[in-house]
């Protein structure tokens, strides 16, 4: 550089000289040892050194090391056989033999994932179809058959269970961790903190893992000693059919496998608009998820609820042939001697009415006639749990007996739907047509808590709940002419996390206050209180009725399929679609009510025109008290119509009655039905000439109206 002279104007020779000098300097620098070369870097200050050290520490903390596959032979053999995969890695979930329907489901899911297309399978309720669906997603991903599974269910919450089950399997299953470390170890290394995924790396190469509660993407890592499976970038999310979705796309990729588990809820399966909406979603939004030209794999696993629901359509090869519908029933062939099973069912009912919930006499009848009762039958699976009592008595001896226990405890129509996927034929649906507006329009002549001078008696019904219990007070006269004098809510104050004893004491205290402030002023002839099935309900009601005596009595509701009216006996008293029996150990009389029959009776009373042209009350009508507030009875009316009875003609049979719950707020309907049942028990009749137990005026006080200590009850009017 020293040979170069400064000049205001550089010519070409000067430029050449400068370039030559620079080259000579660079050559000398190359010949100089590294440690002797001059340093032009600025020395870092303390803050910068700390920041650099922290970055290095964070990077080292985010570094993971992928262990080798522990059992490569096990891994490869399981990936070649889905049934072996399920039994090996999910032994606790599949500890019983696979039935024909299980093997068919596994093969159908496997085949559709490989070749695309649609498949719909209806399997019995509780047979493990959802578990197979969940675990097969794990198999398909690890076998490299799918890259973007999209589980779908009736609701987003149910679909989230599928997504969460996949994540839990990858995160916690020890055998999967041992054989598929390149998938499971990066997930475990997150230690439940999804935000760590962004910096996780193997020797400086990011794994690019995504692991949130709504979406996941598997890591881009390999296992050195395993046959490479390209898991990096495998994606997954979920949707419910109750949510609007279209064009699911993550990182430019679309789903290639859509497992759909139970696409309907009980409510949506009974609603034609909901059925139509879900079918359109399946045919348009879901089927349209695939790339153009791709044959998207769709597998539906479900249980049929009726003959017009979406599940019925998808599994009917005539209605929807593209879904290759398959239906499995728990009983493949019904036994030859069905009349013996009818005897078994009636014996079981008699046992249960006598207080034997296990039906020991029915069990003895089956064991004595087992060969004849089993003749001709074939089950989908012969597996059953041999239940035993504390004394060692075995109560279930075969899968067939277990099936008929379910039929006895529900009814044949329910079993055919839930376990046979063969619901009864339904052509038309008729309803009574009772609406909330009509209930609101049934207004009487008297204000709240006022009764007509012609009132003969009053009855009260209480539907018990944990915190809110609904009650109805009805005044009666003539031939079932009723007036809802008042209704309300009994509040029970419970601390969060209260145990059974605390709940029982709180309900008992509420009943005492309610009786003092409300019922004693009403002075009813009979008050029925739902003894309930919730924690602390039954014993609280029993204790209250023991303390108070008449007119307070506990009640229990039965559906029409299980309700049986007994003959009059020493400890049993039959009434109109209700009967009472003495619980000697509990020192109370329990009233058993045909709930569905009395709910129907309530609806019929509100459907009856209340007044004739002369302004006189019409027999069998029911009205509400007057109110200046037009919305006063709105909530009550919606409770009354929360359930709807449908009359459905069945081919070759009479009309079948089916109750549907449209709204879970049906508590005043239950309370009103109890008050009407109480009226039936004390002699109120729609048709005066109809045979009653004994007319109210001449009837001797029956045992149900004695208090627990035998003191006779004198009717108060």
CATH number of the domain that 461 lies in? Answer: 3.30.420
pLDDT of residue 36: 61
Q: With a cut of 70, which residues of the chain have pLDDT below it? A: 1-13, 29-44, 48-61, 227-228, 245-247, 292-293, 425-432, 534-536, 647-656, 688-717
pLDDT of residue 428: 42
Burial code (b: 16+ CB inside 10 Å, e: under 16) for 437-451 equals eebbebebebeeeeb
478 DSSP 8-state letter: T
Q: Judge whether 559 lies within some domain.
A: yes
Q: Judge whether 132 lies within some domain.
A: yes
Which H helix or E strand runs over 548? helix 537-548
Among 281, 311, 327, the domain boundary falls at 327
Q: Give the pTM.
A: 0.55
Q: Judge whether 175 lies within some domain.
A: yes
Among 276, 294, 327, the domain boundary falls at 327
What are the strands, taking DSSP E only, across 186-268?
Answer: 201-202, 205-206, 210-211, 216-217, 235-236, 239-240, 257-261
Q: Looking at the structure, tell me whether residues 322 and 225 fall in a common domain.
A: yes
Q: Judge whether 436 lies within some domain.
A: no
* Nearest by Cα to 109 from 88, 138, 87: 138
Residue 432 structure tokens:
């009574």
Q: Looking at the structure, tell me whether residues 205 and 91 fall in a common domain.
A: yes
pLDDT of residue 3: 44
Q: Looking at the structure, tell me whether residues 169 and 79 fall in a common domain.
A: yes
299, β-bridge pairs: 119, 259
Q: Looking at the structure, tell me whether residues 195 and 311 fall in a common domain.
A: yes
End-to-end CA distance of the chain: 127
DSSP β-ladder status, 257-261 and 297-302? parallel
> What is the residue range of 20's domain?
1-34
Which residues are CB-contacts of 366 (< 8 A; sequence separation ≥ 6)?
A: 344, 373, 397, 401
CATH of the domain at 90: 3.40.50
Largest CA distance in the chain: 141
Among 273, 293, 327, the domain boundary falls at 327
Q: Looking at the structure, tell me whether residues 162 and 208 fall in a common domain.
A: yes
Q: Looking at the structure, tell me whether residues 203 and 313 fall in a common domain.
A: yes
Q: Looking at the structure, tell me whether residues 349 and 300 fall in a common domain.
A: no
Q: Judge whether 651 lies within some domain.
A: no
298 DSSP 8-state letter: E
Q: Looking at the structure, tell me whether residues 452 and 342 fall in a common domain.
A: no
Q: Judge whether 428 lies within some domain.
A: no
Rounded CA-CA distance 328/453 in Å is: 63
Q: Looking at the structure, tell me whether residues 217 and 288 fall in a common domain.
A: yes
Q: Judge whether 654 lies within some domain.
A: no
Q: Judge whether 338 lies within some domain.
A: yes
165 DSSP 8-state letter: H
Given phi > 0 = left and psi -120 to 50 = alpha, else beta, which region is 536?
left
Q: Looking at the structure, tell me whether residues 115 and 88 fall in a common domain.
A: yes
**Residue 272: Cβ-neighbour burial (10 angstroms; 0-12, 13-18, 19+):** exposed
pLDDT of residue 715: 37
Q: Looking at the structure, tell me whether residues 177 and 272 fall in a common domain.
A: yes
Q: Looking at the structure, tell me whether residues 376 and 452 fall in a common domain.
A: no
Residue 223 structure tokens:
């296992």
Based on the structure, what is the number of domains in the chain? 4
């Amino acid at each position: 550089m020293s040979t170069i002279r400064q000049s205001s104007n550089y010519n070409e020779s000067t430029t050449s000289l400068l370039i030559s000098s620079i080259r000579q300097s660079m050559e000398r620098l190359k010949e100089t040892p590294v440690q002797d070369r001059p340093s032009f870097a600025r020395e870092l200050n303390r803050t910068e050194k700390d920041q650099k050290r922290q970055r290095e520490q964070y990077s080292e903390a985010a570094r993971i090391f992928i262990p080798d596959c522990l059992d490569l032979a096990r891994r490869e053999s399981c990936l070649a056989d889905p049934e072996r995969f399920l039994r090996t890695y999910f032994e606790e979930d599949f500890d019983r033999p696979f039935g024909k329907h299980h093997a068919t489901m596994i093969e159908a899911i496997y085949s559709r994932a490989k070749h695309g297309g649609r498949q719909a399978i209806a399997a019995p309720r509780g047979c493990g179809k959802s578990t197979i669906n969940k675990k097969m997603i794990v198999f398909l991903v690890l076998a490299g058959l799918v890259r973007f599974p999209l589980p779908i269910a009736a609701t987003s919450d149910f679909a989230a269970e599928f997504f969460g089950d996949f994540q839990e399997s990858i995160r916690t299953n020890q055998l999967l961790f041992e054989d598929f470390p390149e998938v499971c170890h990066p997930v475990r290394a997150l230690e439940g903190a999804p935000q760590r995924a962004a910096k996780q790396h193997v020797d400086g190469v990011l794994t690019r893992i995504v692991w949130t509660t709504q979406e996941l993407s598997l890591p881009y890592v390999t296992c050195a000693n395993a046959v490479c499976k390209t898991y990096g970038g495998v994606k997954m999310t979920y949707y419910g059919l109750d949510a609007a979705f279209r064009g699911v796309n993550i990182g430019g990729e679309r789903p290639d496998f859509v497992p759909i588990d139970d696409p309907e809820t009980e409510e949506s399966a009974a609603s034609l608009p909901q059925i139509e909406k879900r079918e359109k979603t399946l045919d348009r939004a879901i089927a349209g998820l695939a790339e153009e030209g791709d044959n998207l794999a769709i597998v539906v696993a479900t249980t049929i609820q009726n003959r017009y629901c979406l599940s019925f359509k998808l599994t009917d090869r005539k209605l929807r042939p593209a879904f290759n519908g398959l239906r499995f029933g728990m009983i493949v062939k019904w036994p030859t001697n069905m009349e013996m099973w009818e005897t078994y069912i009636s014996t079981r009912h008699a046992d249960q009415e006598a207080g034997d919930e296990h039906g020991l006499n029915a069990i003895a009848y089956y064991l004595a006639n087992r060969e004849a009762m089993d003749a001709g039958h074939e089950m989908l699976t012969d597996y059953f749990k041999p239940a035993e009592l504390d004394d060692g008595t075995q109560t279930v001896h075969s899968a067939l007996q277990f099936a008929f226990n379910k039929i006895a405890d529900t009814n044949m129509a329910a079993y055919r739907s839930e376990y046979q996927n063969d619901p009864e034929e339904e052509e038309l649906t008729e309803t009574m047509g009772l609406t909330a507006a009509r209930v609101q329009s049934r207004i009487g002549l008297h204000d709240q808590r006022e009764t007509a001078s012609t009132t003969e008696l009053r009855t009260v019904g209480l539907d018990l709940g944990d915190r809110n219990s609904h009650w109805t007070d009805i005044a009666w006269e003539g031939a079932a002419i009723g007036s809802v004098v008042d209704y309300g809510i009994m509040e029970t104050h419970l601390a969060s996390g209260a145990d059974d004893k605390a709940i029982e004491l709180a309900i008992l205290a509420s009943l005492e206050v309610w009786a003092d402030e409300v019922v004693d002023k009403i002075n009813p002839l009979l008050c029925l209180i739902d003894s309930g099935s919730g924690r602390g309900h039954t014993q609280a009601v029993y204790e209250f009725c023991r303390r108070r005596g008449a007119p307070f009595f506990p009640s229990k509701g039965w559906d029409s399929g299980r309700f049986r009216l007994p003959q009059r006996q020493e400890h049993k008293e039959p009434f109109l679609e209700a009967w009472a029996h003495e619980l000697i150990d509990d020192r109370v009389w329990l009233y058993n009510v045909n709930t569905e029959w009395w709910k129907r009776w309530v609806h019929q009373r509100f459907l009856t025109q209340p007044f004739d042209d002369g302004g006189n009350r019409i027999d069998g009508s029911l009205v509400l008290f007057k109110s200046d507030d037009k919305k006063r009875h709105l909530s009550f009316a919606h409770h009354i119509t929360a359930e709807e009875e449908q009359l459905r003609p069945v081919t070759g049979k009479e009309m079948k009655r089916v109750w549907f719950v449209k709204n879970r707020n049906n508590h005043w309907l239950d309370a009103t039905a109890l008050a009407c049942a109480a009226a039936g028990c004390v002699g109120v009749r729609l048709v005066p000439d109809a045979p009653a137990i004994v007319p109210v005026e001449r009837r001797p006080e029956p045992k149900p109206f004695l208090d627990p200590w035998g003191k006779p009850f004198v009717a108060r009017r």
